[in-house]
Amino acid sequence: MSSLICPHCRSYATFSVVHKTGSWSTRKSDGQGYDAALRCNNTNACGLIIGGIVATDSNAHVLDWWPKHAGGKEFPDVPETIAAAGSEAYQCLSIGAYRAAIATARAVVEATAKDKGITKGNLDAKIDQMAKDGVIGADTAQAAHAVRLWGNDAAHGDLALSRVDEDDAREVVALMDDVLSRAYQLPARTRRIIESREARRNTAKEP
Instruction: Please list the ranges in the chain whose pLDDT falls under 70.
Output: 1, 28-31, 58-60, 69-70, 156-163, 206-207
Domain boundaries, the chain: 3-66, 80-195
Report residue 146 CA to chain centroid gap: 15
CA distances to 44, 81, 94 from 160, rounded to whole Å, are: 38, 28, 20
pLDDT in tens, 147-203: 999 988 877 665 555 567 888 898 999 999 999 999 999 999 999 999 888 888 877
For domain 80-195, give its CATH number from 1.20.120, 1.10.287, 2.20.110, 3.10.20.
1.20.120
Contact 7, 46 (CB under 8 A): no
175, β-bridge pairs: none
The SS3 assignment for 8 reads coil
Mean pLDDT of all residues in the chain? 86
Beta-strand pair 12-24/33-40: antiparallel
pLDDT at 55: 85
Return the pLDDT at 159. Answer: 53
**What stretches of the chain show up as alpha helix (H) in DSSP?**
80-94, 98-115, 123-132, 138-156, 166-180, 186-205
pLDDT per position as a tens digit, 144-156? 999 999 988 877 6
* Total-model pTM: 0.67
